[in-house]
Amino acid sequence: MREVNLVIDDVQIVVPEGTTVLKAALQNGIYIPHLCYHPDLKPAGVCRLCLVEADGRMLVSCHVAVAEGMTVRTNTPEVAKVRRVAAELLIADHDAACLSCGKNNSCKLQEIASFVGIDRDRLEGLKAPGRRPVDRAHPFIVRDHNKCVLCGICVRTCEEIQGACAIDYAYRGYATKISTFGDKPLLESVCESCGECVARCPVGALLPKNGAKPAYEVKTICGYCGCGCGIYLGVRGGIIVGVRGDSSSPVNQGNLCVKGRFGYQFINHADRLTTPLIKREGRFEEASWEEALDLVASKFWELQEKYGPEALGGLSSARATNESNYLFQKLLRSLGTNSIDHCARL
């Protein structure tokens, strides 16, 4: 692919032909405020925060491709004035309880407000009356219209990535909001609860229910089925508090289903077995893996010699990987039995 030379804020940059101005700047460490842009989605250009000046014209940088010899200025007085007005209009109606918001310190609007510089006195005259109810009926997602900035990332995610089209813009003027068909709660819509919109929401309008910020993350594989989706488990105090997709995984490329994203609570359950148990004198006692496997092997041989190989049977798991299930059935067949089944039939 042909490369293009351009200048952004006096920095000489070389990028592939077809790259947008915004992407070229971000890739080279030059910050341009943006809210409706997400690398997984097609550019929309609705927030008007990524405006730049190029060769005497004001352009929406997430939509415009670079050109040979282009000179771009990201923060001229004219650009800064228009950008500040756009930011003020977004922040005026926004819930200002940042410290109690689940997106605090990771909110795009917070980032933009800090960069642009917002005058609180000017905001008072822009506020719209009334407050919208918060939708907490969904088992996994909290939806707060008071924090929504109408960037449309959730709408485009639902359409372009998930293909569900469960939400879209509704109403007009101050009444405009992201809504389901018939303005029903998410739980009563065709929403598939995948959480892809939650993962991409730049503000606190969509948050995972009972979520908490992790102290650290562990890279692993989702155990709900044999697909092998890559995930990061968020851990805090030895307890899993959240899951996010691994964008570097060739299997799922960061996307997850409802089970993979929200079905992790069983891991923290008090009744979950974390070590093998062996029944001794009518009571289960903890044992090492070596003890447990030796016991299973001895019982296998005992039953095989007494009743023949067809007395043995195996029940595998639909949560195991295809490779693990292959090895399991190979083990059973090596013992002389074809009696193999899986839990997905139960």
Give all domains of the chain, ordered by start, each with its CATH number.
1-125 (3.10.20.740), 128-209 (3.30.70.20), 216-268 (2.20.25.90), 308-345 (no CATH)
SS3 of residue 51 by DSSP: strand
The share of the chain scoring above pLDDT 90, in percent, equals 71
Q: Which residues pair with 230 in a beta bridge?
A: 221
DSSP class per residue in 183-206: G--GGGSS-----HHHHH-SSSSE
Contact between 228 and 221 under an 8 Å Cβ cutoff? The reply is yes
Interval 293-327: pLDDT, tens: 999 999 999 999 999 999 999 998 877 778 888 99
Tell me: the pLDDT tens digits for 119-173? 666 665 556 667 888 999 999 999 999 999 999 999 999 999 999 999 999 999 8
Number of CB atoms found within 10 A of residue 158's CB: 23
- In terms of phi and psi (left: phi > 0; alpha: psi -120 to 50; beta: otherwise), the region of 105 is left
CA distance 290 to 2: 60
Q: What is the pTM of this model?
A: 0.82
Please tell me the distance from the alpha carbon of residue 229 to that of residue 210, in angstroms, as a whole number: 23
Among 257, 224, 230, smallest CA distance to 245 is for 230
Contacts of 325 (CB under 8 A, 6+ apart): 226, 316, 317, 342
Mean pLDDT for the chain overall: 91
